[in-house]
Chains A and B, each alone.
Chain A
Amino acid sequence: MKYLKQFGIILIISFCSELLKKLIPLSIPASVYGIILMLIVLKTKIVRVDSVKETANFLLDIMPILFVPAGVGLLTSWKIIQTKLVSLLVVVLSTTIIVMVVTGRVTQAVIKHEKRKKNERSVE
């Protein structure tokens, strides 16, 4: 019964996040409220990690294939996409590379900077 209970807890959080989406008039999806909500119940020890862990790992493990139906769905909007395909691909691919590089380099630089500051402080 372990898995059933774990899945039940995850669905309760998912349902509550859908409720929040209905109550809060912003264009934020239920799943984003869900991440925050799950983090809160774990942090406040209302739910212990052990009581969701195995089922959560299963869901995270199969996550990539959950995006496949949406990807296949591009088939239905192919006629609209086709007219803009070249500019769409150029913009999408180049900005994805640029964003990944800038984000990674900035994060890495600040981490290094903070470490150096800490080391200097400990030397003093």
Chain B
Amino acid sequence: MKEVLNSSVFFSVMLTIIGYELGISLKKKFHYAIFNPLLVDIIFVILVLVIFDVDYENYNAGAKNLTYLLTPATVCLAIPLYQQFDLLKHNLKAIFAGIVSGVFTSLGSVFILAYLFGLSHEEYVTLLPKSITTAIGMGVSEQLGGIVTITVAAIIITGVFGNMAAEWILNFFHIKDPVAKGIAIGTAAHAVGTAKALEMGEIEGAMSSLSITVAGLLTVIGASIFANIL
């Protein structure tokens, strides 16, 4: 059995899809944010790998086919953005004010917490790019001398948490405008959050997609400035 699981071509992708469907049915039954399908799926796959003693490398040999689709899927985020382009033009000022304030809040709050926790310079720059998409974040962390592995972990946890808690946070703080919701999710929780924004609606999805790009680029500049102050 172990040998089959370690060498099967289809096992990884099959397992990943089953885990996601399991998450969807749990969410339907219990309605708690913690039963977020993405989070359930990650935990489910980790449990199966640990229980059946399957190496991550062997899982990833099949699962990398999913990762392979990530760039084409991200490219497709331009389509809702294209369809909502008038809305973007119409709210240009608000959108840019929102993203710029979000990016500086992200960098500023990491700075304050790093200072309070007495984190080292290395740990501080590791966390600076935590709100942006993995590929840009890794580059930023590397350039500033951070620990890239932890940056990736921080980015993934941010995304999954943003995906899971977005509805609750936005409701609690009375953020009701669909444009504002999308911008908030994309700026705080990059592409993983955007997957949630797309479920909320086309406007939310389009605005969240836009934020990934703009917030990512602004963070590249902002992080190099913030890196010098702690």
Q: Which residues of A contact B (CB under 8 A)?
A: 7, 10-11, 13-14, 17-18, 26-32, 34-39, 42-43, 49, 52-53, 55-57, 59-60, 62-77, 80-81, 84, 87-108, 110-111, 114
Q: How near does chain A come to B118, taking the closest CB pair, in angstroms?
A: 9
Let me know if B131 and A99 touch, CB within 8 A.
Answer: yes
Tell me whether chain A's interface is mostly helix, strand or loop, or mixed: helix
Selected A-B contacts with CB under 8 Å, 8 pairs: A7-B72, A32-B74, A57-B76, A63-B191, A67-B38, A87-B117, A98-B105, A110-B97
Interface centre among A35, A42, A80 (most CB of B within 10 A): A35
Contacts of A28 in B (CB 8 A): 136, 139, 216-217, 220
State A75–B59 Cα separation when bound (angstroms).
Answer: 12
Contacts of A10 in B (CB 8 A): 72, 75-76
Let me know if A27 and B177 touch, CB within 8 A.
Answer: no
State A60–B208 Cα separation when bound (angstroms).
Answer: 13
Q: Identify which of B191, B194, B220 contacts A26 (C-beta below 8 A).
A: B220
Let me know if A71 and B136 touch, CB within 8 A.
Answer: no
Tell me whether chain B's interface is mostly helix, strand or loop, or mixed: helix
Q: How large is the interface on B (under 10, 10 to 19, 20 to 34, 35 or more residues)?
A: 35 or more
Q: Which residues of B contact A (CB under 8 A)?
A: 12, 16-17, 19-20, 37-38, 41-42, 45-46, 49, 56, 59-60, 63-64, 66-67, 69-83, 85, 91, 93-95, 97-99, 101-102, 105-106, 109-110, 113-114, 117, 119, 123, 127, 130-131, 133-136, 139-140, 142-143, 147, 149-150, 152-154, 156-163, 165-166, 169-170, 173, 175-177, 179-181, 183-185, 187-189, 191-192, 194-195, 198, 205, 209, 211-213, 216-217, 220
Q: Identify which of B69, B82, B175 contacts A105 (C-beta below 8 A).
A: B175
Residue of A nearest to B105 (CB): A102
State A64–B83 Cα separation when bound (angstroms).
Answer: 21
Contacts of B60 in A (CB 8 A): 69, 72-73
State A84–B146 Cα separation when bound (angstroms).
Answer: 14
Q: How near does chain A come to B198, taking the closest CB pair, in angstroms?
A: 6
Residue of B nearest to A80 (CB): B149
Contacts of A39 in B (CB 8 A): 78, 81-82
Let me know if A27 and B75 touch, CB within 8 A.
Answer: no
State A103–B16 Cα separation when bound (angstroms).
Answer: 33
State A70–B159 Cα separation when bound (angstroms).
Answer: 11
Q: Identify which of B16, B85, B130, B166 contacts A95 (C-beta below 8 A).
A: B130
Let me know if A49 and B83 touch, CB within 8 A.
Answer: yes
